[in-house]
Chain A
Amino acid sequence: MPRPFTPKVVTANDLLMGDVIYQTADNVWSRSIAEAEVLRDEDTANARLAFGSAQAGEVVGAYLADVKVGENGPQPVHFREDFRMTGPSNYFHGKQADLQASS
C-alpha cells in the first residue's frame, strides 16, 4: 500500500518583488493560491517542483506546500502558509491588500 499523499502546490517567492507566488498548470506563476496547480502524487509533485526551481531568473526558494482542496480550489493546511497567502496580521498589507486592489 502506498502511503496516502497529501496534495501539494509549488510555491516560491518572486525574485524581483519577493512576494509569494504559486505555480499554475499552464506554467505561469500566480499571486493567488486558488489558481495553483494541485499535485496529487509524489512523482508529479517532484517533477513540477524541479520545473519550478529551474526558473531561477524568476523565482527564489521554490518548495512544495501541503494543501487541502475545497470549493475555491487549493487552500493551505499549515498556518504558516495561511500567512504567506494572506500577509501579516498587524497591518492590512501584502497579499490581502494586493488582491483586494486587483479585484
Chain B
Amino acid sequence: MYSYNEFDKAFLAERNAQFRAQVERRIDGSLTEDEFKPLRLMNGLYLQLHAYMLRVAIPYGTLNSAQMRQLALLAEKWDKGYGHFTTRQNIQYNWPALRDVPDMLDALAEVGLHAIQTSGNTIRNVTADHFAGAVADEIADPRPVAELIRQWSTDHPEFQFLGRKFKIAVTGAEHDRAVTRAHDIGLRMLSRDGQRGFEVIVGGGLGRTPMIGKVINDFLPEADLLPYLEAILQTYNLLGRRDNKYKARIKITVHENGIEKIRELTEARFAEIRPEFKGTDQDVLAEIRGMFSNPAFRNVPEDAFHTAYDADPVFRSWADTNLSEHKAPGYAIVSISLKAHGKTPGDATAEQMRVMADLAAQYAHDELRISHEQNVILPHVHKSDLPAIHARLREAGLATANIGLISDIIACPGMDYCALATARSIPIAQEIAVRFDELKLEHDIGHLQIKISGCINACGHHHVAHIGILGLDRAGVENYQITLGGDATETAAIGERAGPGFSADEIVPAVERLVYAYLDERESPEETFLQTYRRLGAEPFKAALYPEAKANAA
C-alpha cells in the first residue's frame, strides 16, 4: 500500500490549516457563504438536507486497518456512530458540525486520508477495481497507476476549475468491476507484444444523459499516460461547454463534437506536451509500484475451511455467495456485505468498522477495500481462516450471504439526506431486500443487480443496473421509474426505460412481478436475469410490469 512521504504529509497539513482558517473566517463573517462554498466543496464539505456532510476519499478503494479504525473514530466522535460508503469508493459522514470539520480532517491526515477533491469541478477520487491485486485475470495491479493519477490530479492548478466534475476509473482486469465505461475517463490496462499500456475510454457517464464511453486510444503505452490525460483534460477544458451545467460534462463534449475530433485535438495537444514529460512521472510510478507488492502468501493446509464447509450450512451459504477466486493457491477474496436485509445499503457502524479492521489486521495482510457496490472486501484471506472470520462477522451483523444477489442493492442516500434528491432511495432498497428475504427466493433468483437513484444525477448507477430504479418527484409525490437491461461490466449497456413510473407503494410489487416473469421465462437456473432479458427483449417484462395494458390490448 502507498504510504505518505514527508511531502505528502506537509502538503496535507498545510491544506488542512488553510481550511481551518477558512472555516474561522466564515464563522467570524469575513467570508460570505458565496465565497466559502467553493472552498468547503474543494475539501469535501457539503450542506445537505439536515446537516453538513463530509465526503472522505478512499483512493482506489484501498484502506489499511489503521485507516479503517480512524474512520470508525470519526463516526463515533463527530458523527452519529456510523458512516456511509458510496458508489465512488468514498465514505460520507452525515452529521458533522462546521466547527468540528477541521479536526476531522486533521484526524484523517494522521492516517494518510483526506477529503480533497471529493466535490467541486475537479478531478475526483480515482476509483479502481476493488479486487485489484488479488484476481488472476489481471494484467497488473491498477492501484499504482491510480495513485499516480491521484498525486498528479491533487491540487493540479490547471484542473481546479473545470467546466464540471471529472471522474477517472482504472482496471487491470479482463472483467470490468470498476465501471470504466461509465466514467469521464476509463482506463483498462492491456499488454501488447510484451509492452504494458491502456485502452483509454472517454466520455462515459450516467446522470441525466447516460452515455457509454468511447475508445479514444486502443493502446496507449504506459509511459504516455499522464501527458495523454493532460491532453484530454486540456481539450475538454477548452472545448467543453460552460453555458449550460447540464451539457458541461465531457460525455456531451464527445457526443457533440464526435470522438474523431476529440481524438484529433487530443493527439495534437499530446504531441506538443509529451516532450515536457522527461520520465520523472515514471520514476514516481516505479516507486509507488514498489509499495504495492504482493503480500507474503502462506502455503498451509485448507482443512479448516473444508471441515466448516461440510458441517455448517450457514457458513456454506456464505462461502458460496461471498467468496471470489484469488490468484494465490489456498486464498480467497472475501466480500463483506453491507446490505443486511432491511438495513441501509453501504452503512457501517463504528463498531462494525473496527471489527472489519481487526479482521484485516489479523487475517488479511492488513488490507481492506471498498467497492463501488458499497460493500467491504478483505482481498487476501487464506481459506483456513474463513471459519473464524465468518464467526466474527456473524457476531457483528456482517455475515449476510447476498453478494451479487437481488438484496445486494446499490442505493444513493436519496431524499433521506441529499439536498439534490427528488425522492427517497433507502426505504425502497430496504423494502425490496426484506421482501425477497421473506420469499426465500434470492439464492434461486441468482445474480441480479438492482440499483436505485433518488434523482436524475444517478449516483445510484440505476442506468447500468439489471433492474434500475429512479426516484422522481411527480407533482409532489414520490414516483419510481424502472429501467431494464443495464450492465456495468465490460459488456456495459444503458438500461431501457420500461414505461410509466410507480408510486412508493407500487414499486416493490412491480419488482416482484419482474422477478417472477424472469423465473417463468428463464431457460435454466443458470440463465441470469440479464441473459434472459437479452434473449427475449423487454416485452415479457413490460407485460409483467403493466398487466392492465396487456388486458386492455387483448
Interface of chain B residues 302 through 346 with chain A (CB within 8 A): 344
A90 and B430 contacting across the interface, CB-CB below 8 Å? yes
B98 and A89 contacting across the interface, CB-CB below 8 Å? no
A18 and B80 contacting across the interface, CB-CB below 8 Å? no
Partner of A16, one of B33, B50, B95, B99: B99
Size band of the B side of the interface?
A: 20 to 34
A-B contact count (CB 8 A): 74
Q: Provide the A36-75 mask, 1 if CB < 8 A to any CB of B, else 0.
A: 0000000000000000000011001100000000000000
B49's closest neighbor in chain A, by CB?
A84
Q: Provide the A72-103 mask, 1 if CB < 8 A to any CB of B, else 0.
A: 00000111100110011111011100000000
Kindly state whether residue B500 has any CB partner on chain A within 8 Å: no
Kindly state whether residue B415 has any CB partner on chain A within 8 Å: yes
How close is B341's CB to chain A, nearest CB, in angstroms? 14
Which residues on A sit within 8 Å (CB–CB) of B49?
Answer: 20, 80, 83-84
Kindly state whether residue A17 has any CB partner on chain B within 8 Å: yes
Kindly state whether residue B29 has any CB partner on chain A within 8 Å: yes
CA distance A16 to B427 in the complex (A): 29
Partner of A18, one of B27, B47, B427: B47
B50 and A18 contacting across the interface, CB-CB below 8 Å? yes
Kindly state whether residue B265 has any CB partner on chain A within 8 Å: no
Interface of chain B residues 400 through 431 with chain A (CB within 8 A): 415-417, 424, 426-427, 430
Kindly state whether residue A19 has any CB partner on chain B within 8 Å: yes
B52's closest neighbor in chain A, by CB?
A18
A16-B99, A17-B98, A79-B477 are contacts. A89–B426 as well, Cβ < 8 Å? yes
Kindly state whether residue A25 has any CB partner on chain B within 8 Å: no
A19 and B426 contacting across the interface, CB-CB below 8 Å? no
Kindly state whether residue B51 has any CB partner on chain A within 8 Å: yes
CA distance A15 to B284 in the complex (A): 42
How close is A88's CB to chain B, nearest CB, in angstroms? 4
B426 and A56 contacting across the interface, CB-CB below 8 Å? no
B51 and A94 contacting across the interface, CB-CB below 8 Å? yes
B504's closest neighbor in chain A, by CB?
A79
How close is A63's CB to chain B, nearest CB, in angstroms? 12
Kindly state whether residue B257 has any CB partner on chain A within 8 Å: no
A17 and B51 contacting across the interface, CB-CB below 8 Å? yes
B95 and A93 contacting across the interface, CB-CB below 8 Å? yes
CA distance A87 to B80 in the complex (A): 13
Kindly state whether residue B106 has any CB partner on chain A within 8 Å: no
Which residues on B sit within 8 Å (CB–CB) of A95?
Answer: 50
Size of the chain A interface, CB-CB below 8 angstroms: 25
How close is B464's CB to chain A, nearest CB, in angstroms? 24
Kindly state whether residue A23 has any CB partner on chain B within 8 Å: no
B82's closest neighbor in chain A, by CB?
A91
B51's closest neighbor in chain A, by CB?
A18
A18-B51, A89-B426 are contacts. A79–B416 as well, Cβ < 8 Å? no
Which residues on B sit within 8 Å (CB–CB) of A78?
Answer: 476
A79 and B476 contacting across the interface, CB-CB below 8 Å? yes
Interface of chain B residues 24 through 77 with chain A (CB within 8 A): 26-27, 29, 32-33, 47-52
CA distance A17 to B53 in the complex (A): 11
B413's closest neighbor in chain A, by CB?
A88
B33 and A60 contacting across the interface, CB-CB below 8 Å? yes
Which residues on A sit within 8 Å (CB–CB) of B27?
Answer: 15-16, 57
CA distance A86 to B427 in the complex (A): 15
Kindly state whether residue B478 has any CB partner on chain A within 8 Å: yes
Which residues of B does A touch, CB under 8 Å? Answer: 26-27, 29, 32-33, 47-52, 80, 94-99, 344, 415-417, 424, 426-427, 430, 473, 476-478
27 pairs, A vs B, C-beta closer than 8 Å: A16-B27, A16-B98, A17-B51, A17-B97, A18-B47, A18-B50, A18-B97, A18-B98, A20-B49, A56-B29, A56-B33, A57-B27, A57-B29, A61-B47, A79-B415, A79-B477, A79-B478, A80-B49, A80-B473, A84-B50, A89-B424, A90-B344, A90-B416, A91-B80, A93-B50, A93-B95, A94-B50
